[in-house]
Chain A
Amino acid sequence: MERMILYPGCLVLSRFHEYELASRQILSKLGIEALDMEEFCCCGSSLVSGVRDDWINLPAYSLARAERLGMDIITLCGSCTNVFLRANFYLEKDPSLLERANSRLERLDLGYAGTTTVRHIVEILVDRVDEIRESVVSPLNFNVALSHPCQIMRPSEILPEQDTLSFQAMRGIVSALGAEVVDYPAETDCCGSTILLFDRAMALKVGKRKLESAIEGGAEMISVCCGNCLLLLDRYQSQMELKNGGRRMPLISLPQLIGLALGFPQDEMGVFRH
């Protein structure tokens, strides 16, 4: 079994238990043993742009922990992924920054050489899409719209060179489950969730536009693969007054959706808790 460190991030660890549970089960089904961070620390994603200059020490800590074990990190959230990729990018570009981060890590008996690979779970899944396709026991016969974890794909300057991710990744996986992937105009728009930190009304407007665009496109449900998308589009949906004949638009994380098609019991996939 391949071993990797699972880094769900603060938001998923505390708010999206079904998503985390399903991720662990699908990874295990694919032969990946997901180990936990021994002592978890926030990735610092909300401190990056102008909040604290020492933000990089936070991701450097988790990267160093994984490096010591010689394992990749798997993330479940676009924001965590983005900050880890950004940290690796800056630390590689600027040796003095790496030196400064290491002077802090040393205090915790750690050090970082810059070798940890960080992969969002979509990337792990798309690499194994054939195996997923072959394991489908109940093909999904509904129309699914996708909200992509956009922060794992932008900005391109911080992405690793042989990056395989694109907005096609989730499409390939969901199609392999038998579902019809719906096209809709707002598909590649950011869901807007992180705006919640500054302007809730604006976040709701952005989320509503995305959901209504998916509804117009004929979606019966929306699949996501990011804690932030779940937060805004699911938990805040009731505040959006959607034009959908009074119905909620069901949201499901990609690992839960895979679990359904692979015949995992629905309660194990947390579907009814959602």
Chain B
Amino acid sequence: MRIEIPKECDQCMKCVDCCIITQMDGYSIASELNELSGDGAWNCANCWRCIEVCPRAVDIFGFMIQRRKDEEIPELIRRGIDGIFRKGFWFGDSQFNEVRGLFGLPAVRFLGREKVALLMADEGEGS
């Protein structure tokens, strides 16, 4: 599959140079913009330093969204989405409120499965 580089990008490498992932010899979305790899769509800390340094105001965020749509969603994110649809909470912790109680913290009530379903798009529309 060919990755289409936004036309504003002149592959100046500034985003690659500032990225914590490429600095550690990994590939990120900045690597993809500069055609160094086709493997960087998910590897990102969402620090948006690349967006701040880009001299040509390339829509790096939009590019990332497009690229990710071509790839599988990572397992841990899938699990988080399940949690959100289960009750509106990223984790599946058991005894969550009991543990909070031990710290003297108030119990949390979650939005709940039915209301989350009302809030989000219907099956098939969301992603």
Spell out A's residues near B (CB within 8 Å): 10-11, 13-14, 17-18, 20-21, 24, 36, 38-42, 44, 46-47, 49-54, 57-58, 61, 79, 82, 104-105, 107-108, 150-151, 154-157, 189-199, 202, 205-206, 209, 270
Contact of A155 among B44, B51, B104 (CB under 8 A): B51
Determine if B48 and A46 form an interchain contact, defined as CB atoms under 8 angstroms apart. no
Q: Give chain A residues whose Cβ lies under 8 Å from the Cβ of B80.
A: 42, 46, 197
Instruction: Tell me which residues from 35 to 88 in chain B have a Cβ below 8 Å from any Cβ of chain A.
Output: 41-49, 51-52, 61, 64-69, 73-74, 76-77, 80-81, 83-84, 88
Enumerate 29 A-B pairs (CB-CB under 8 Å) in ascending A order: A13-B100, A21-B105, A24-B105, A36-B108, A38-B109, A40-B109, A41-B89, A41-B116, A44-B84, A46-B90, A47-B84, A49-B64, A50-B41, A50-B69, A51-B73, A52-B126, A54-B121, A54-B125, A57-B119, A108-B118, A151-B48, A154-B47, A155-B61, A189-B20, A190-B45, A191-B45, A194-B45, A194-B46, A205-B24
Q: How far is the CB of B75 from chain A (nearest CB, A)?
A: 9
Determine if B45 and A193 form an interchain contact, defined as CB atoms under 8 angstroms apart. yes
Q: Which residue of B lies closest to A199 (CB)?
A: B43
Q: Give chain B residues whose Cβ lies under 8 Å from the Cβ of A20.
A: 103, 105
CA distance A105 to B120 in the complex (A): 9
Q: Give chain B residues whose Cβ lies under 8 Å from the Cβ of A13.
A: 96, 100, 108
CA distance A199 to B61 in the complex (A): 20
CA distance A47 to B84 in the complex (A): 10
CA distance A41 to B88 in the complex (A): 4
A contacts with B: majority SS = helix
Q: How far is the CB of B61 from chain A (nearest CB, A)?
A: 7
Asked whether B13 is an interface residue with its Cβ less than 8 Å from the other chain, the reply is no
Determine if A40 and B89 form an interchain contact, defined as CB atoms under 8 angstroms apart. yes
Q: Which residue of B lies closest to A54 (CB)?
A: B121
Q: Give chain B residues whose Cβ lies under 8 Å from the Cβ of A46.
A: 77, 80, 90
Contact of B103 among A11, A21, A155 (CB under 8 A): A21
Q: Which residue of A lies closest to B103 (CB)?
A: A17
Q: Give chain A residues whose Cβ lies under 8 Å from the Cβ of B96.
A: 13-14
Q: Which of B44, B47, B48 has the most CB of A within 10 A?
A: B47
Q: How far is the CB of B81 from chain A (nearest CB, A)?
A: 7
Q: Give chain B residues whose Cβ lies under 8 Å from the Cβ of A157.
A: 51
Check A104/B120 contact, CB under 8 A, given A21-B104, A36-B106, A205-B24: yes
CA distance A215 to B73 in the complex (A): 36
Q: Which residue of B lies closest to A151 (CB)?
A: B46
Determine if A79 and B111 form an interchain contact, defined as CB atoms under 8 angstroms apart. no
